[in-house]
Chains A and B, each alone.
Chain A
Amino acid sequence: MGKRRKPKLAVWKFASCDGCQLSLLNCVDELPALAERVEIAHFLEASSAVMKGPYDLSLVEGSITTPRDLERILQVRRVSKFLVTIGACATAGGIQALRNFKDVKEFVSIVYARPDYIETLETSTPIADHVPVDFELHGCPIDKRQLLEVIGAFLIGRRPNVPSHSVCIECKLKGTVCVMVAHGTPCLGPVTHAGCGAICPSYHRGCYGCFGPKETPNTASLSREWSRLGASEQEILNVFRGVNANAEAFRKESDLHARRND
């Protein structure tokens, strides 16, 4: 085992807040073990030293928002054997995908003194819209245990234990009482991808969907329940237009409520 070349790990940043990369840096206890197993070859957040590609495992943070990034992601894909997107920006377009629902040119003309200096796309889109992605790790930010799980699974050739079911299952496994049934608090848990460990409901808050849609999400049924619990159309619209606004199931649901609001 020791004689084999260590796999090269690269971390790439596109339009994002760096929070997901920080999740990797936050793995203080695990970093030495990780460095034993992989060559951290490209991770600008941690070190300016850069090793040449190709890279065995690339972690990609951020969404595609500029023409330059559109080219850069093709290059990243070319030098990456296994490409994992991390976080809501990379997997869904992030909070900056709210631009997808508005006129970007108008924003630019209002915000910037010299709009002609600004080169930006009209949309913020996930990495998988542009290149093949080998695995998507959801979350805003991602959960560091899940990140280590994905890396560990990659190293040994295993499918990562990152279930795509609802947050509800996480609540029930922990023994957290359902905030929707026992408090009448609107919660996105039933349509949201597990992974955070059901943090919000543990603090008596409703989930607001940081990890994006679960598999087979029934957003229409949940929206009806939110209305019954007293949420307004605007509130329902807002909750689906969060950091995962551009994820297909959430986008379609929010569009529906936007039309009703008009």
Chain B
Amino acid sequence: MKILDRNSVDLFFDALKRQGFALVGPTIPDSAIVYDEIGSSADLPVGWTDEQDGGTYRLKKRDDEALFGYVVGPQSWKKFLHPPSLRLWTAHREGKGFKIIPEQDDPPKLAYIGVRSCELHAIAIQDKVFIGGPFLDSSYGLRRENVFIVAVNCGQAGGTCFCVSMKTGPKATAGFDLALTEIIEPGRHYFTVETGTGRGEEVLRDLPYTEATEADPATVERIVEKTVSQMGRTLDTTDIKNLLYQNLEHPRWDQVATRCLSCANCTMVCPTCFCSTVEDVTDLSGEHAERWRKWDSCFTSDFSFVHGGTVRPSVKSRYRQWMTHKLATWIDQFGTSGCVGCGRCITWCPVAIDITEEVRAIRETKK
């Protein structure tokens, strides 16, 4: 473990840039902390935090100058790894036939600054979907290869967080190049740094770090423990797969459907939701065609459309599909839960539907 002073953060960023990485990280363009390009530590949400609960998110000033003193915002890193909208190929007519030209995909090398433990797990989960099976998604793979991950251990939990229940946080244990813990004491603002890879160590090498003292790991543990104690939500995952498999006709699905807007916000903000649709487009001349991939959601009617109609006309069946997939069928499909307990689906649901509450309701009145 090393120690990096707050004042060295920009040197750290410069070192990453020298390695050819463009930086993306938390910033406040507007009314929420989102992930976007950043130039220096001044672009980070310095001194800001977020207050979250079901259906509500507010930025608040902190009484210190913390760089990472917030939880997670409406966006996740999937917007970089699995872009919302992506051209897959173009084609043009040629004689009696046509020719397909694969998209020349050359994504930039990005360093993700401030990745939380739940998000590391979300990335690992999407890795299984896109590059862990017999088929490899090249656009995801190319982006994934190029990422340098700077994780940050959470110094506080949000009102909708439940990573402790999902065993995905709040401390980063794997999947990062470097992991930071932000420590603010009277008169001192610094970071502990753990290295996860050789490449992380290399970046660190040129920086004015000091070795950690014996007390520092304990300080980190204390911070993490405090975060653990602040979890806004809990979800009992005991035998959850069978719980949901055996309750496909539970009346709770009808109840949640009276509230659910089928607006798809939960799936858009979810860091693991990976569904997409394709659009075949043409220009007016009819000589050129393209195929685009766009984020899609199991909450739409079109999602399950087969000739003759949609398989899931009711909102009940769409919510059931989403939640059962996330917490149960995902386990059969990929060997892990599809939920990392980040709480985004709770915060960003306009009517505050709470996945932890839905599970609780089914568990309490299960078949």
Contacts and interface: CB of A to CB of B under 8 A. Distances in A.
B56 interface: yes
B131 interface: no
Contacts of B55: 180-181, 225
Given A177-B34, A178-B350, A221-B351, A36 B284 contact: yes
The interface size bin for chain B is: 35 or more
A215 B351 contact: no
Given A152-B283, A152-B286, A172-B74, 13 more contacts: A156-B286, A158-B282, A165-B299, A166-B264, A169-B268, A178-B348, A181-B56, A190-B263, A191-B261, A216-B315, A217-B261, A220-B258, A222-B351
Contacts of A221: 258-261, 351
Q: Chain A interface secondary structure, helix, strand, loop or mixed?
A: helix
B34 A155 contact: no
A223 B281 CA distance: 36
Contact of A182 (B31, B263, B302): B31
Nearest to A187: B350
B61 interface: no
Interface of B: 30-32, 34, 55-59, 74-75, 79, 84-85, 258-265, 268-269, 279-286, 294-295, 297, 299-302, 313, 315, 347-351
Nearest to B74: A177
Contact of A165 (B259, B269, B300): B300
A33 interface: yes
The interface size bin for chain A is: 35 or more
10 contacts: A1-B286, A156-B282, A164-B302, A165-B302, A168-B263, A168-B268, A173-B294, A178-B265, A190-B261, A218-B258
Contact of A164 (B258, B261, B301): B301
Interface in A146-193: 148-149, 151-153, 155-156, 158, 161, 163-166, 168-169, 172-175, 177-178, 180-184, 187, 189-191
A105 interface: no
B285 A33 contact: yes
A161 B281 contact: yes
A177 B32 contact: yes
A168 B264 CA distance: 7
A225 B284 contact: no
Contacts of B350: 168, 178, 180-181, 187, 190, 222, 225
A183 B31 contact: yes
Contact of A218 (B262, B295, B301): B262
Contacts of B295: 169, 172-173
A74 to B, nearest CB: 30
B265 A172 contact: yes
Contacts of A119: none
Contact of A216 (B262, B269, B348, B349): B262
A146 B213 CA distance: 62
A225 B265 CA distance: 15
A215 B297 CA distance: 13
Contact of B265 (A168, A174, A215): A168
B231 to A, nearest CB: 20
Contacts of B349: 181
A156 B91 CA distance: 14
A53 to B, nearest CB: 23
Contacts of A220: 258
A224 interface: yes
A152 B285 CA distance: 8
A177 B264 CA distance: 14
A151 B259 CA distance: 37
B284 A172 contact: no
Contacts of A149: 281
Contact of B285 (A36, A166, A184, A224): A36
B82 to A, nearest CB: 12
Contacts of A183: 31
A152 B261 CA distance: 32
Nearest to B292: A161
A190 B265 contact: yes
A182 B57 contact: yes
A177 B30 contact: yes
A252 interface: no
Contacts of B347: 181
Contacts of B84: 172-175
Q: Ordered nearest first, which 8 A-B pairs have the shortest CB separation?
A: A172-B268, A190-B263, A190-B261, A168-B263, A166-B263, A173-B84, A33-B284, A215-B301
A183 B32 CA distance: 10
A46 B306 CA distance: 40
Nearest to A172: B268
A218 B350 CA distance: 12
B252 to A, nearest CB: 16
Interface string A189-217: 11100000000000010000000000111
A37 interface: yes
